[in-house]
A and B are shown apart, each in its own frame.
Chain A
Amino acid sequence: DAGITQSPRYKITETGRQVTLMCHQTWSHSYMFWYRQDLGHGLRLIYYSAAADITDKGEVPDGYVVSRSKTENFPLTLESATRSQTSVYFCASSEGHLASGYTFGSGTRLTVV
């Protein structure tokens, strides 16, 4: 199916555990992004990637790691999960960055207990 898919849809993990959120897009969009959404803060950028093997930090990168070995995949890893990382995580992709609209995945609701 064409589009952008995130997995898992829901995840509960314990403090200190490593967890990876997956994001896959089928359009070969150059740009991919990870945002977290919390009440009162809207969408905050964690990391973004302009192309395969090119990644850069956003507003709130601490505690997160990303990689992009293939254009279509952009996984987000929480190295040692903390309760403050409980959030809804959205992956997005875009053909042309600022000049093109972003398409968001369905989101992953992560709870750290």
Chain B
Amino acid sequence: QQPVQSPQAVILREGEDAVINCSSSKALYSVHWYRQKHGEAPVFLMILLKGGEQKGHEKISASFNEKKQQSSLYLTASQLSYSGTYFCGTGGNNDMRFGAGTRLTVKP
């Protein structure tokens, strides 16, 4: 089953913050986050392996709530380069399923 992402789309001004959520109806063993620019391949951002884990990547960070079966991606002080579609991926038996994506647009 695919994880569910929200919101589907968000528009920001440079410097604003955003949160993207990812939830699953199944137990999560790991959560991946990727960003895809238009016409390009998805690029790996980070992975969270344990409940309660938080990670940072410049001004992009994420948390993983194993109990609630959800993860959130935090983008702070957004830059134009943050524009793209963000996907979460959640691990199953031996494969990973991706959410439908959140389109983030950062405007000057």
Chain A interface residues (CB < 8 Å from chain B): 33, 35, 40-45, 48, 50, 56, 58-59, 90, 97-107
Contacts and interface: CB of A to CB of B under 8 A. Distances in A.
Interface of B: 2, 29-30, 32, 34, 40-44, 46-47, 49, 87, 89, 91, 94-101
A101 B94 contact: no
B47 A97 contact: no
Nearest to B31: A98
B94 A97 contact: yes
Contacts of B43: 104
A100 B42 CA distance: 15
A59 B91 CA distance: 13
Nearest to A54: B94
26 contacts: A33-B96, A42-B2, A42-B87, A42-B100, A43-B87, A43-B98, A44-B2, A44-B98, A45-B96, A56-B94, A58-B95, A59-B97, A90-B41, A90-B42, A97-B96, A98-B29, A98-B30, A98-B91, A99-B30, A99-B47, A99-B49, A101-B46, A102-B42, A102-B44, A103-B44, A104-B41
Contacts of B47: 99-101
Given A43-B42, A106-B41, 6 more contacts: A42-B2, A45-B96, A98-B30, A99-B30, A102-B32, A102-B42
Contacts of A105: 41
Nearest to B30: A98
A24 B86 CA distance: 25
B95 A33 contact: yes
A102 B96 contact: yes
Nearest to A104: B41
Contacts of B97: 45, 59
